[in-house]
Structure 1
Amino acid sequence: MATRARQKEMVTRTSRQRQQQAIQYAGAAIAVFVAGKLLRRIFKAIVGDKSNKFKFLIGLEPSQIRKLAQELIERSQRVHDQVAAVPLQKVSYVNVIAPLARLEAEEFALMQSCKFPRLVSTSKEARQASLDAEKMLDEHKSKCSMREDVYLVIKTFCDKKFMVQPEEQRFIDRLVKDYERKGLRLRPEMRGEAERLNARIGELCNVFQNNINEDESSLSFTVGELTGMHSDFIKSLNTGEDGKLKVTLKPIHYFPIMEYCKVRATRSAVAAARYRRCMKENTPLLEKVLDLRHKLARLLGYKNWAEYSLELCMAKKPEKVQEFQEKMVEHITPAALRELKLLQDLKEEEEGNSVVGLEDILYYIQKAERRMINLDINDLSQYFPVDTVTSGILKIYEHLLGLKLQESRSRHVWHEDVREYEVFDSEKKACLGIIYLDLFSREGKYNHACVVPLQPGCDLDDSCRQVPVAALLMNFTKSATNIETLLKHSELVSYFHEFGHMMHHVCSQASFARFSGLQVESDFREAPSHMLENWCYEKESLKMMSCHCKDPQKEITDGLCNLLKAKRKSFPALRALRNHLFLGTLDLILHTEEKIDTELLIKRLYPEVVLGMPMLDGTNLAASTLHLMSGGCDAACYAYLWSEVFAADMFETKFKGNIMNNIVGMEFRNKVLVPGATKDAVQILKDFLGRDPSVDAYLRINGLNQFDDL
């Protein structure tokens, strides 16, 4: 016992000394950094005396974005040079690890200040400057990741096996792993090739993503060609010079048309156009990136890119993913065939043709659901005014997670539609973070739903905690009339899901920036929010998020809540095949095999997975699928269904029939959200479930046969 006490005292004393030294070191580094005229001016004008906690910058001009990016690169260079200059015999936590941790903590928000305008700015010049800055920063990051001098100093420290705290050791191990995954174990000439490949991949991915983000493709139709569409949808469309109505290929137009337009030729034209988006420019980019990824993986000692990419995921190996997907296909296909037969019967009844094509799936699923459960989704929207939905979401998350969300107008935002909230712990009254809600579609804005971390929550080595900041981007269509914007139930689900990601980011209490919130393994990241989607189908929570738009006292009925729950359980097998297993299988093939013609592969693979259904001729959906190119998602498209499996297990085990239980909600917050990435996801699941995770709940909920646990 005495020995343990002495060891504990030594660790405490060492930690105290390390903290004091780190304050001195980091203070000097920061003093150099903020000496730049631009940053002094911006911090004084925007951040003021809260600069220790809030570093994300809003409203930068194009020239300021580029200048800030250059300042960040210069500061990062200085810190890396200082670490590299530490004599190997004098390495310590203070002069090697702490500076790099501090750099990660503070540069993230400023880097996002440069990168974020590309997603939200109404100025094309600002979006271009943001893209330019992102290229500069990514190139610099790639160069830093290949610095042998820095790696040798870190590796020397690691090899000395100093006594550190568990999260510190996790950070150190990850640092070493990151350098080695970039090729620092290779011979110098091979390292140079790895650096070139990394840089080229990043460059091409940025161009690919920007092509999609800037795509403004549209089609024109007469009112008759849009038969079946709701009057509000028709009113929301712009009229072209030819007098026809302009339909974009963005989700706000694409999905309603695919679900409700009665004219098959219109649905077919819209589907084909969407799957041809950016095909000419992005197909060669995609195939070049795939080739470069394979070359890089082999150079680093991996069989293929999937093996490299999955190393840091829950699944670990491509074989595990393949086994998972094959078993899911095996169990889902019989049910999917029964579901498809239902749609074929409906199509034969309406068109006299029972061959269901890709352009028919959503339309006939919608018709089948209306017939089976007598639910009109457009009428249902009357119960979901956007402000009522927002208020309800806030109340649910506040109650469930022990939080208080307070709207603030103390700082300016990037668009007049954006709302800002401070998030407090309801008991301790401490500010946990800041969130932004950017809910409506506009020109130039990123056109998918997502959460963007703007600043990580982490400890700074001056005894100050940096608060997490995140933005929620949705693309709701503003009402064309004076009536408040009404949401479809599917939009409510998406909103609630993405809000869950923000809560994950804000509630995390990691000490290091790289373990903050959403930086968990990519195949676990969606699981908490998938679980939270259940609140969009339960009576108690639905009534908190709804009221009739013409009579606020009129709540959604129990009958409608029951119908929504029934709708959720309709066509689960067909949806899983089309939405998840096809893309997951495609993704795995692309990242395990070489020299692939992506258009031909999709033409062959789609009918193999989706019950013989042909892909539309002359299309290549891979050319507009961001997940195949964006960092962290490549070779991980299986993760969506994988996450749904764990989400079902968490909900059924802890929350079923008990959705507003604050005690269970706090357990979820403390055991799943608070750790961030400080633990392996498998351990997080075990801590919350009290056992190993299982697929049983997912299979039971969807009426599928069970198979062995993962």
Structure 2
Amino acid sequence: MPMQPLELPGPHGDWAQFVDDLVECGLADARRIATGLKDGAPRSAHEVLDRWNDSSIAVSTAGGVAGLLAQVHPEVEVRTRSEAALQELAKFGSELSLDKELYAVFAAVDGGGLDPEAARLLAKVLRDFRRSGVDRDDATRDRLKAIDERLTVLGQDFSRIIRDDVRTIRIAPERLDGLPKDYVDAHPPGDDGLVAITTDYPDLIPFTTFAHDGAARRELHTAFLNRGWPDNDPVLHEILDLRHEMATLLGYPDWAAYDAEVKMIGTGEAIGEFIERITDLADAPGRRDLAVLLARARQDDPGIEALTAADNAYYSELVRREDYEVDAQEVRRYFDFAKVSAGLLDVTGRLFGVSYRPRDDAPVWHEAVTAYDVLRGDEMIGRIYLDLHPREGKFKHAAQFGLVSGVAGRDLPEGALVCNFPTGLMEHTDVVTLFHEFGHLVHHVLGGAQRWVRFSGVATEWDFVEAPSQMLEEWAWDANVLRSFATDADGVAIPGELVAKMVAAHEFGKGRHARTQMFYAATSLGLHRDRPADHTAYVAELQERYDLLAQLPDTHFQAAFGHLDGYGSGYYTYMWSLVIAKDMFSAFDGTNLFDPKVAERYRDRVLAQGGRADAADLVADFLGQPYSFDTFGEWLAR
């Protein structure tokens, strides 16, 4: 019998009860299996791992559903119940990881006859037990369990505060000067004669890019950088302190050392070295970019001494328009959301040898969500959900959420793409973001035919997961690719010469951008390493050291830096992955990005492998040699 996707309740179903039942059943199954493993009966290594796999599948599906709904369901009750469910799952996971009897079962397993993949699983299970502190004394284990459970709650609080803190400025209509007509039409004055502009991306990005009124841009961007403040300040302090305590209880000098052990980079010290290396590589290109931006800004304000984030998008757009002859408002008329989303499916289908079948009959959590079955030939290999427009109470950024982890012959991989795009014309930056995030989704699906759920989908080291998505961005800059779906209202395709100018303009600013990324990376590392009493002052010092943009006064960036929860001390991973992505992309023929031999090799040797092997080995298998910094360094210097 063919595998079937998870049956969801639909927009009018009882989602809260659905979550409760799914989690209750998942936990019951997992507890039963764990208890059974400790009954003393003789079992082969494969029998032990099979039962562990069954337990992992039960909690994985429950966690995937609850994790998604906590961020996207339109009903507060469902989001709240989902958060409570995640706490229960985390509590169980902590209990399991600190169970000495269960650890003894795995420690006693004779792995001599295991195949390489099963042996890899056993090694990772044993490592996870060790990293949880299962071998510590009872008092330490109790404290580690309490910390783990508290961190789950704090992480939810941190994310929820950011998600719910949508700020608004109200300005006179004439201060919209410079913005596209469709944006102005979508923002009519209210009863007080003022226009409301929010910090949600569909409002923020066009406004900071096109609004001529510098004071208004600064007002909006200040509001954006102050989301989560002051409520998240004590939350972040407690998160950082508890992570440090957990790491030291486990014998590590700090959280970065603990966290880096299971990543490609290996050590906390190596993170700092990587940040300095990229900072140095980007210094000359970044200062060259900044000089151009400042020169343009001084045409408007001769006395300006520094640029802030509120100025960057605006003056970068002016430089692209005036120096590179690329007008973003001209460009955006080729990127209607409906055409872009259809084009994305066509492009990725062609590239990876799959097709997408719309499922209007599939239950979804909101009427704006669309569902597709993913097929290879006539075989269904997964299901995806696209939730791409903003609404109240929804996750505010862009991310892929794994709903169901695929297991060969058992469960189809299912995932959701959650973004906040306009329903009409898109900025090309939005198009790039859509391709990027879809890269995670297709990785989840194509890597979802694993024997062991532990290796399903995006199951590689955390500092590699962005590389496939950064790779897919390249297809959003190719003229032939774009011309297949980017057409204006009359159906005229975007001109190739315009795309060439867009690419040249895109190359401008990469050095300055890299320096800003290193500021973010230094923030995530430094806050965990130093745990300063005054986060705002500390972050300001880091921005002065690493970023080429000046700090906006009276802002508290770290309070809304959501990656401090999920990525912890590892925000460096975006740039680390980009180094690898640039190297992998060099294997493709720039004149034919759909070359089936290269595309199939990439699909089968990298994406479809999931976590079966170390990322460095997957990349080396695809490239025919280990990855290096050479391609990235050459690109950055151009």
TM-score (norm 2): 0.95
Are positions 1:469 and 2:414 aligned together? yes
1:384 pairs with 2:330:
no
Using the TM superposition, give the Cα deviation of residue 641 of structure 1 relative to its aligned residue in structure 2, in angstroms.
0.9
Q: Could you tell me how far 1:122 is from its partner in structure 2?
A: 1.7
What code does the residue aligned with 1:172 have? L
Question: Structure 1 residues 241, 78: closer, same or farther in 2, change over 3 A?
Answer: farther
How many residue pairs match? The answer is: 633
| Stretches (4+) displaced over 4 A | 238-241
Instruction: Provide, for residues 187-242 of structure 1, a one-character-per-residue CA deviation record: whole Å limited to 9, x for no partner.
Output: 12211111111111121111111111222322211112332222211222365453
1:150 paired to 2:87: no
1:331 CA displacement: 1.9
Q: Work out the CA distance in 2 between the residues paired with 1:260 and 1:218.
A: 18
Deviation at 1:94, TM superposition (A): 5.3
Shift of 1:56: 5.6
Which string of whole-angstrom CA distances, capped at 9 and with x for unpartnered residues, describes residues 517-568 of structure 1?
112111110101111111111111111121112x12x111111111111122
Aligned equivalent of 2:28: 74
CA distance, structure 2, for counterparts of residue 238 and residue 86 of structure 1: 71
1:81-126 alpha-carbon deviations (Å, 9 max, x no partner): 1122235xx2433553211201222432233233322222222222
Pair 1:614-2:565 in alignment: no
**Could you tell me how far apart the structure 2 residues matched to 1:63 and 1:237 are?**
39
Gap runs ≥5 in structure 1:
1-48, 479-484, 705-710
Q: Give the aligned residue type for 1:562.
A: A
Residue 603, structure 1, aligned to residue 540, structure 2: yes
Give identity over the alignment, percent. 27
2: CA distance, partners of 1:333 / 1:418 = 43
1:491 partnered with 2:430: yes
* Partner residue in 2 for 1:125: 77
Aligned residue runs from structure 1 range 262-661, under 5 A: 262-358=212-308, 359-426=310-377, 429-459=378-408, 464-478=409-423, 485-508=424-447, 509-549=449-489, 551-552=490-491, 554-578=492-516, 580-611=517-548, 613-630=549-566, 633-661=567-595
- Post-superposition offset of 1:373: 1.1
Return the alpha-carbon distance in structure 2 between the equivalents of residues 548 and 292 of structure 1: 53
One-letter amino acid of the structure 2 residue matched with residue 201 of structure 1: L
Shift of 1:310: 0.7
| Distance of 1:306 and 1:351 partners within structure 2 | 43
Structure 1 position 161, deviation (Å): 2.9
C-alpha spacing 1:94/1:695, structure 2 compared with 1 (3 Å): closer
Larger radius of gyration: 1
Equivalent pair of 1:498/1:529 in contact (CA under 8 Å): yes
Name the residue aligned to 2:16.
Answer: 62
Structure 1 CA distance for aligned equivalents of residues 36 and 8 of structure 2 = 27
Name the CA shift for 1:374/1:435 in 2 (closer, same or farther; >3 Å).
Answer: same
CA contact (8 A) 1:197 1:292 kept: yes
Q: Secondary structure at the match of 2:170?
A: strand
**Counterpart of 2:272 in 1: which secondary structure?**
helix
Displacement of 1:465: 3.3
Partner of 1:40: none
Deviation digits for residues 403-433 of structure 1 (CA, Å, limit 9, x no counterpart): 122222342222222222111223xx32211
SS at match of 1:641: helix
Tell me by how many angstroms 1:591 deviates: 2.0
Q: Which runs of 5+ in 2 are unaligned?
A: none
Contact 1:287 1:597 survives alignment (8 Å): no
Greater shift after overlay, 94-103 or 148-157?
Answer: 94-103
The whole-number CA distance in structure 1 between the counterparts of 2:187 and 2:165 is 18
Deviation by residue 1:635-694 (Cα, 9 ceiling, x = unmatched) = 110011111111111112333333111111111101110111111000011001101111
Q: Give the secondary-structure state (helix, strand or coil) at the position aligned to 2:465.
A: coil
Distance 2:622 2:326 in 1: 36
Code of the aligned partner of 1:474:
C
- How far has the Cα of 1:399 moved from its partner? 1.7
Matches within 5 A, 1:165-204: 165-204=115-154
SS at match of 2:529: coil
TM-score, scaled to structure 1: 0.86
Seen in structure 2, the aligned counterparts of structure 1 residues 401 and 295 have a Cα distance that, compared at 3 Å, is same
Alignment root-mean-square deviation, CA: 1.8
Instruction: Tell me, yes or no, if structure 1 residue 116 matches structure 2 residue 68.
Output: yes
Q: Confirm or deny: 8 A CA contact 2:232 2:559 kept in the other structure.
A: yes
- Measured in 2, the distance between the counterparts of 1:345 and 1:150 equals 65
What residue is the counterpart of 1:244 in the other structure? 194
**More displaced, 566-575 or 216-225?**
216-225
Secondary structure of the residue aligned to 1:247 is strand
Q: Distance in 1 between matches of 2:433 and 2:247?
A: 35
How many angstroms does 1:595 deviate by? Answer: 4.2
